[in-house]
Amino acid sequence: MAKRKHVEDDLENSADGDDSEQEFSGLEESSSEGSEDEYDEIRVEFEWFDPQKQDFEGFQMLLRQLFGTDASFFHLGAIADLILEQKLLGSTVKTDGNEGDPHSLLTVLNLKQHRNRPVIKSLVDYLLDRSSTSSSLSPLISLLPANSGNEVGLILSERWVNIATEVVPPMYEMLLEEIEWAVNDKEPYTFTHYLIWSKIYHAVPSTLDETTNRPMKKMKPESNKDVDDGQSMYYFHPEDEVLHRYAMLYGNFDYKTPVPEGDSRNAFQDFGVTPHGHLILIDAAALKSAVKALKTDFPFLPTTSGATMDESWSTTP
């Protein structure tokens, strides 16, 4: 069934880029002649839905993207099944109606409630192992075990790269509302903390310049940037920068499976990227304030024709 949010959005997106061509067929043909700086107006209807059985394959694809090169360590089908068991908790975003593919997913899993499930055990063991490699994340070692007395909700949030950040605040707002309803019904969602699984990347200069003596351009400054161990880190999920302001801790970890070298020669760009896992721990009460901040920083602005969204929705790597 469709959720409470149902909006139409007029999006402006440059005609350049393979992602846009794949997502919106006919975009290139509809481009008017003229400057490369001209924009096409694309009308997209976003609908929010509860997780449904037809989303099973789509969930696995989104989870594989979220977990990066370590996705093979987890039974993605079992995680998707667990998400589907929580029919009234979590949201998907689609553009082709109820039977369409999910383009975005946000949900929460109770690590303590499901601690005896093999797939949850594998997730917790992995998180404990990766946390032991990072001083920023090491406090999680005492917080995540089932006997710690904490009720940790693992938030899984992922979307395709050309889906706007502005769809995220309504998803978080609905999640908090659904958790409140579940608690009122005495379901096991009284969390003390939320652990958000995300990812970041850092830029890798191309070695192509070393072999061709081609002058390398400076990387364009980005607003979604942080610094870790002297390297500039960039967010796949721009909302993470807002969530950091309300976090108890956050940090990065390396994947166990070697990441293919992020050399940009294959993309004919001056920089490639190397991804890393990223975790954000937020106190349950603080998440409510964080969601309010997300709504301010990434507003969904209703207009008479729907909502207006900035063209930057397509620039997230």
Q: Are 14 and 20 in contact (CB under 8 A)?
A: yes
| Mean local confidence (pLDDT), 286-312 | 69
Question: Which pLDDT does position 96 carry in this prediction?
Answer: 87
Confidence of residue 141 (pLDDT cuts 50, 70, 90): very high
| Mean local confidence (pLDDT), 300-311 | 41
pLDDT in tens, 20-43: 233 333 333 334 444 455 555 566
97: left (phi over 0), alpha (psi -120 to 50) or beta: left
CA angle (57 as vertex; 309, 53 as ends), nearest 5: 90
Question: Which pLDDT does position 191 carry in this prediction?
Answer: 96
Residue 162 and residue 314: Cα distance in Å, rounded? 5
DSSP, collapsed to helix, strand or coil, labels residue 19 as helix
Q: Which tokens hold the place of 253? A: 């970890």
Question: Which pLDDT does position 91 carry in this prediction?
Answer: 95
Confidence of residue 2 (pLDDT cuts 50, 70, 90): low
Per cent of the chain over pLDDT 90 is: 59
Backbone angles phi, psi at 224, to 5 degrees: -90, 65
Q: Which tokens hold the place of 32? A: 């008017």
pLDDT at 235 exceeding the cut of 90: yes
Lowest mean pLDDT among 1-5, 215-219, 255-259: 215-219
Per cent of the chain over pLDDT 70 is: 69
Q: Which residue has the higher pLDDT, 143 or 9?
A: 143
Neighbours of 118 (CB within 10 A): 10
DSSP structure class, residue 50: -
Q: What pTM does this model have?
A: 0.78
